[in-house]
């Protein structure tokens, strides 16, 4: 009899533990994504902009190269040129992604455009701040 009760108790205990972790997974924070992938068949890169907490993060994904490359991010405000920003990064050799971010606080509301210059290629996307 003891040999049947002990495995049964372990089974009930582990079943209760697995239910708790399933409930915890349902309570995880969900990140809201409002757009945004632009990928053109004639381009080697893609640009994604995500809204995460109090930031907008734009990530460039491209093919790896054997040498470092210069990447220029341009942020264009919908209303105020004073809110525009240009920033240049170095993408190290054999790396395929790079990101730039901006705080949402103090940014103009409306449709923003982000353009990335990589080698002779321009990749752009838009997002809306509400």
Share of the chain above pLDDT 70, in %: 67
Give me the pLDDT at residue 53, please: 87
CATH number assigned to the domain comprising residue 41: 2.60.40.2150
Give me the pLDDT at residue 15, please: 54
Taking alpha carbons only, the member of 107, 105, 69, 61 closest to residue 88 is 69
Average pLDDT of the chain, as a whole number: 79
Decide if 12 is inside a domain.
no
Decide if 17 is inside a domain.
no
- Distance from C-alpha of 116 to C-alpha of 72, rounded to nearest angstrom: 5
Taking alpha carbons only, the member of 84, 70, 91 closest to residue 114 is 84
- Distance from C-alpha of 26 to C-alpha of 114, rounded to nearest angstrom: 34
Range of the domain at 105: 37-129
- Distance from C-alpha of 86 to C-alpha of 75, rounded to nearest angstrom: 6
Decide if 101 is inside a domain.
yes
Decide if 5 is inside a domain.
no
**Considering its fold, how many domains does the chain have in total?**
1
The set of residues, in sequence order, having a beta carbon less than 8 Å from that of 82 and lying 6+ positions away, is none
pLDDT digits (tens, 9 = 90+) for 70-101: 999 999 999 988 899 999 999 999 999 999 99
Q: If 0-12 CB within 10 Å is exposed, 13-18 middle and 19+ buried, where does residue 41 land? A: exposed
Task: Tell me the average pLDDT across 38-46.
Answer: 62
């Amino acid at each position: 009899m003891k040999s049947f009760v002990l495995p049964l108790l372990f089974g009930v205990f582990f079943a209760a533990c697995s239910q708790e972790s399933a409930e915890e997974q349902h309570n995880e924070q969900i990140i809201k994504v409002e757009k945004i992938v632009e990928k053109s068949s004639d381009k080697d890169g893609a640009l994604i902009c995500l809204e995460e907490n109090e930031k907008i993060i734009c990530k460039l994904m491209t093919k790896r190269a054997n040498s470092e490359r210069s990447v220029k991010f341009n942020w264009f405000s919908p209303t105020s040129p004073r809110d525009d920003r240009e920033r240049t990064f170095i993408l190290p050799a054999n790396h395929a992604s790079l990101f730039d971010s901006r705080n949402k606080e103090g940014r103009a509301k409306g449709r923003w455009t982000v353009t990335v210059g990589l080698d002779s290629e321009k990749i752009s996307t838009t997002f809306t701040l509400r």
